[in-house]
């Protein structure tokens, strides 16, 4: 093919009588695009970890320890088994209210809200409250009447709000959750009973703590407010005792019903690590302290065994030959991208560029001793001109087991034009007149 192009250019040069010597470039190649892959296993730096397969025996029927940054489950005990979850439901109620309402919204109490069972604020039908004040009542003291008043204000009805809760759960990534009530009282509808899994509940909490207002509310120890008329005054104290048990605790929500037992979901931070802990069925009366013991055990297990590691590693990207192509002239006047290969073969080559930012390269993940992050490079083996700068030619994937951490595109670093009869004619005329 290269000989044919040289002959064509030579013929045109003779016809014009004057022309500088022109090098014709081109190469035979295949149109078939094949993928070549390479993988690099990255072993985290050695650290002093406690060797253990788990946190030991737990009281909870279901438990999950989650990396709050990635949603990765670090430990689970029946973490994917659906169970009633009582007032931990109110984490979802609160986040929906924050995302769909305003703090100075007027919330009017309905007969349905006022008739809810204990624990309650003892709201009265027809009263009005600011939404922000009711959220403190909801999260600090877990009032059931407050939850219904909020739900009816945001969703139009309890049923409408439940639909919003279930839609949000799917959006967050929950796979086995069904909400019926905004307060978590044992209930059922046509879709099933009110329940979630320890994994889904942890995922909801990891989403919620990204909201600064949610964190502020759940970290408040005491709060006072009144109805809008100012006739009734209230003070609520935070029932989340774990805030005072360890300085690592940053948020949490308790719950209890006869079917659910004691439940708890917490967010903890330590040395830049975010741990989410969720417990379902963690004892029944008189075992109210079991949830604190299980939570602390899971937290200590996480702190001892999981440490943050930067997982980026620069993959080695080979040059890719481009059939029937030649590099476009640049402002510097270079005619073609030349490497040792291209100088020997006359073929056009391109290099791949990874579309990544400096902050991406600094991303970290919690890893246990012996865990490995895999870097997998998928790249086109051959290309056929034309190729445009920025054209996607491959992908780099970082994964930990089945969990995909990140995907980055590999793109062409330059334009490669296709050598055609018209290109040869234009080439001859350009060199002749310039």
- Over residues 105-128, the mean pLDDT reads 98
Residue 24 resides in a domain: yes
H/E element, 165: helix 158-172
| One domain for residues 316 and 215 | no
Quick one: pLDDT at residue 12?
A: 47
- If one counts the domains in the chain, the total is 2
- Among 286, 320, 338, the domain-final residue is 286
Residue 80 resides in a domain: yes
Structural contact between residues 294 and 60, judged by C-beta atoms closer than 8 angstroms: yes
Quick one: pLDDT at residue 4?
A: 45
Residues belonging to the active site? 87, 90, 142
Q: Residue 223 sits in a domain of what CATH number? A: 3.40.710.10
User: pLDDT, tens digit, for every residue of 233-270?
Assistant: 999 999 999 999 999 999 999 999 999 999 999 999 99
- Among 239, 271, 286, the domain-final residue is 286
pLDDT-wise least confident of 154-168, 237-251, 331-345: 331-345
| One domain for residues 87 and 173 | yes
User: pLDDT, tens digit, for every residue of 43-53?
Assistant: 233 333 354 67
Residue 301 resides in a domain: no
Can you tell me the distance from the alpha carbon of 267 to that of 274, in angstroms, rounded to the nearest whole number? 7
Residue 119 resides in a domain: yes
Looking at residue 101, the DSSP 8-state letter turns out to be S
Give the chain's radius of gyration (CA, Å).
Answer: 32
| One domain for residues 247 and 333 | no
Residue 304 resides in a domain: no
pLDDT tier for residue 355 given thresholds of 50, 70 and 90: confident
| One domain for residues 267 and 156 | yes
Residue 296 resides in a domain: no
Question: Domain range spanning residue 346?
Answer: 2-44+312-433
Residue 57 resides in a domain: no
Closest CA to 377 of 38, 33, 35: 38
Can you tell me the distance from the alpha carbon of 343 to that of 388, in angstroms, rounded to the nearest whole number? 22
């Amino acid at each position: 093919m290269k000989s044919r192009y040289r002959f064509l250019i030579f013929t045109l040069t003779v016809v014009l009588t004057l022309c500088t010597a022109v090098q014709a470039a081109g190469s035979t190649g295949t149109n078939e695009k094949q993928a070549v892959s390479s993988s690099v296993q990255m072993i985290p730096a050695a650290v002093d970890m406690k060797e253990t397969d788990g946190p030991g025996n737990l009281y909870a029927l279901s438990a999950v320890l989650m990396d709050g940054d990635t949603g990765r489950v670090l430990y689970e005990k029946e973490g994917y088994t659906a169970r009633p979850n009582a007032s931990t439901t109110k984490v979802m109620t609160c986040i929906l209210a924050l995302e769909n309402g305003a703090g100075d919204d007027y919330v009017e109490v309905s007969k349905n809200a006022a008739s809810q069972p204990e624990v309650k604020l003892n709201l009265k039908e027809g009263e009005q409250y600011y939404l922000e004040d009711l959220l403190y009542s909801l999260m600090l003291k877990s009032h059931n009447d407050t939850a219904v008043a909020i739900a009816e204000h945001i969703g139009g009805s309890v049923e409408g709000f439940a639909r919003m809760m279930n839609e949000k759960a799917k959006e967050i990534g929950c796979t086995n959750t069904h909400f019926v009530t905004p307060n978590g009282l044992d209930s059922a509808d046509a879709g099933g009973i009110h329940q979630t899994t320890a994994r889904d509940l942890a995922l909801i909490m990891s989403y919620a703590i990204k909201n600064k207002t949610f964190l502020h509310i759940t970290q408040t120890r005491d709060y006072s407010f009144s109805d809008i008329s100012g006739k009734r005054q209230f003070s609520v104290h935070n029932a989340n005792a774990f805030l005072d048990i360890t300085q690592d605790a940053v948020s949490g929500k308790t719950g209890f019903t006869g079917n659910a037992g004691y439940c708890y979901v917490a967010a903890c931070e330590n040395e830049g690590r975010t741990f989410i802990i969720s417990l379902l069925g963690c004892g029944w009366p008189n075992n109210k302290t079991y949830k604190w013991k299980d939570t602390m055990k899971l937290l200590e297990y996480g702190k001892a065994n999981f440490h943050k590691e930067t997982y980026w590693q620069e993959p080695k990207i080979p040059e890719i030959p481009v059939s029937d192509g030649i590099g476009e002239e640049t402002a510097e006047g270079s005619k073609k991208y030349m490497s040792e290969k291209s100088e020997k073969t006359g073929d056009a080559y391109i290099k791949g560029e990874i579309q990544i930012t400096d902050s991406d390269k600094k991303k970290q993940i919690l890893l246990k001793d012996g865990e490995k992050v895999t870097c997998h490079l998928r790249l086109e083996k051959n290309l056929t001109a034309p190729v445009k700068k920025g054209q996607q030619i491959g992908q780099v994937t970082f994964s930990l087991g089945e969990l995909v951490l990140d995907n980055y595109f590999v793109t062409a670093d330059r334009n490669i034009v296709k050598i055609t009869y018209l290109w040869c004619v234009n080439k001859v005329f350009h060199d002749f007149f310039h």
